[in-house]
Structure 1
Amino acid sequence: MDLFQVIILAIVQGLSEFLPISSSAHLILPSKILGWPDQGLAFDVAVHVGSLAAVVIYFRRDLQELIAAFFASLVHRQHSQQSHLCWYIVLGTIPAGLCGLLLGDLIENHLRTVLVIAATTIVFGVLLGLADRKASENRDISQLNWRSVLFIGAAQALALIPGTSRSGITMTAALALGFNRVTAARFSFLLSIPVILLSGGLKTLELIGQTNTPWLEIGIGALLSGITAYICIALFLRWIEKVGMMPFVWYRLALGVVLLYIALG
């Protein structure tokens, strides 16, 4: 990839990682429309590191409290809302982790097609819109329980299917359960941390031993992805109560139609 392609793909990844619009749907467009080369494993690792850094830095105070409460619950049996939330993040990660281990190769080999991504972009966009319009929005993060977390975690596992959007499907599930938009977004972002860490770690293991590592691409990709993702998280949480999910729903529908045209044209 040349420098321009690296910059564009890093920014796209940083934006689409946390917005409910699907990063896989966006990253397939440059190769299909513009003929750009595949970004490669090293670049994937870099942008995952950037995204992870962004969400960790943004939620650094929350994470400090969560980690302290987690160890207090383990060592001193002192339970609190924060320790429960930390355990819920662990619980919500399990479905995606298991599905990734059991079905990862199947999904990678058979579902990474433009047609599948087009269909999931549209279908899960419609579900996001329905959940946003029907949501009662009377529950906040203190009202999470193990049943709701498992439901959101199971929904997150669906994001292994390209085009679904991890953030989109977890927010859809939370809204469908009656949580308000800010809670749905915050829990989705916190739930992303172990998932990005695990997927990035697996990709890093695959990368070990490879030669000719493009360090310049890695550095630029990680930096731009991180900056873009941080800005995206901050603005999304600030504006979500005002704008709702419908702008992202309409965007997904338009993107899905474009992808369908590419797949069937």
Structure 2
Amino acid sequence: MDYFTAFWLALVQGITEFLPISSQAHLVLAGQWLGDVYQGLAFDVVLHAGSLVAVIAYFRHEIFTMLRDWFGTWLGKGATKDSKLGWWVIIGTIPAGVLGILFKDLAEGVLRGEVIMGLALIVFGLLLGLADWKGRGDRDEYSLGLRDVLIIGFAQALALIPGTSRSGITMTAALFLGLSRDAAARFSFLLSIPIIAAASLLLTFDLVREGTDIPWDTLLVGFVVAAVSTYACIHYFLAFIRRIGMQPFVIYRLILGGLLLWFFL
């Protein structure tokens, strides 16, 4: 892989990872546009690692407080709203983690097609639009209960269907539960941390088993571009939805999904 390809694939990953428009669909399309490119396991690892570093860096204060209070509960210091949120992130990750292991081959095989991506972009885009229009309230992420977290967690598992968008479906569920746009996005981003970390770890194990040569120069380009673009995307996305909302992303999903169906049906 040359530097040009590494740069553009990493940029696509960074921009789309946390937008509700499906990074997986965009990476598949970008790979085809660049000449049916498969970036390989090593590049998958660094793209995930770049996005992970970015989201941790952006929410570093919230994460530090959650971890401090969560560990504090084990030392008898009592529960706080941040320790509770830490538990919700852990519990909300379990459904997608379990179902991801069970249905990994299905998600990477039968479901990985342009028509399914197009349908998922449209169907789940319409749900996002409905949630943003009717379901949005003023709850914050600290008001979540166990039932709320399980609903969001099982919604996250739907992202196994390519084109769904992990961030999009979790924000949709959170909006239907009455969270504000800002709170829905923040909890979705926090919920992504263990999922991306686990995916990166599994990909690393696969990479070690393959024992392939590692092109460190292009991997460094991919990591840096993915990390910087992801960080910027999170910042501007949060500012954007506070003022305008989700509807522009809904329209984009409908157009992209329609084009995929037009070309591949």
* Fold in common (TM above 0.5): yes
Mapped pair 1:256 → 2:257: yes
1:81 maps to 81
Query: Over residues 76-105 of structure 1, what are the superposed CA-to-partner deviations in whole Å (9 max), with x where a residue is unaligned?
Result: 151010000000000000000000111111
| Equivalent pair of 1:43/1:218 in contact (CA under 8 Å) | yes
Counterpart position of 1:246: 247
Distance 1:211 1:203 in 2: 13
In structure 1, what residue type is equivalent to 2:93?
T
Partner of 1:223: 224
Q: For residue 124 of structure 1, report the CA deviation from its aligned partner.
A: 0.6
CA drift at 1:24: 1.2
Partner of 2:144: 144
SS in 2 for 1:8: helix
Structure 1 length-normalised TM: 0.97
Amino acid at match of 2:3: L
Task: Kindly state the Cα deviation for residue 258 of structure 1 after the two structures are TM-superposed.
Answer: 1.5
Aligned with 1:205: secondary structure? Answer: helix
Cα separation, 2, equivalents of 1:107 and 1:198: 17
2: distance between equivalents of 1:251 and 1:66? 35
Corresponding letter in the other structure for 2:132: D
* CA distance, structure 2, for counterparts of residue 30 and residue 195 of structure 1: 23
Letter of the structure 1 residue corresponding to residue 259 of structure 2: V
**2-side partners of 1:233 and 1:96: how far apart?**
22
Cα separation, 2, equivalents of 1:205 and 1:139? 40
Alpha-carbon distance in structure 1 between the residues aligned to 2:149 and 2:214: 39
Q: Structure 1 unaligned runs (5+)?
A: none
Q: In structure 2, what is the Cα distance between the partners aligned to 1:187 and 1:58?
A: 13
CA distance in 2, matches of 1:260, 1:216: 37
Aligned residues: 264
Deviations 1:36-69 (A, max 9, x none): 3111111110100000000000011111100000
In the alignment, residue 262 of structure 2 is paired with which amino acid?
Answer: Y
The corresponding residue for 1:213 is: 214
1: CA distance between counterparts of 2:263 and 2:25? 12
Name 1:157's counterpart in structure 2.
157
RMSD: 1.1
The one-letter code of the counterpart of 2:231 is: Y
CA contact (8 A) 1:114 1:262 kept: no
State the distance in 2 between where 1:54 and 1:136 align.
Answer: 27
TM-score by length of 2: 0.97
- For residues 226 and 157 of structure 1, what CA distance do their matches in structure 2 show? 24
Q: Percent identity?
A: 51
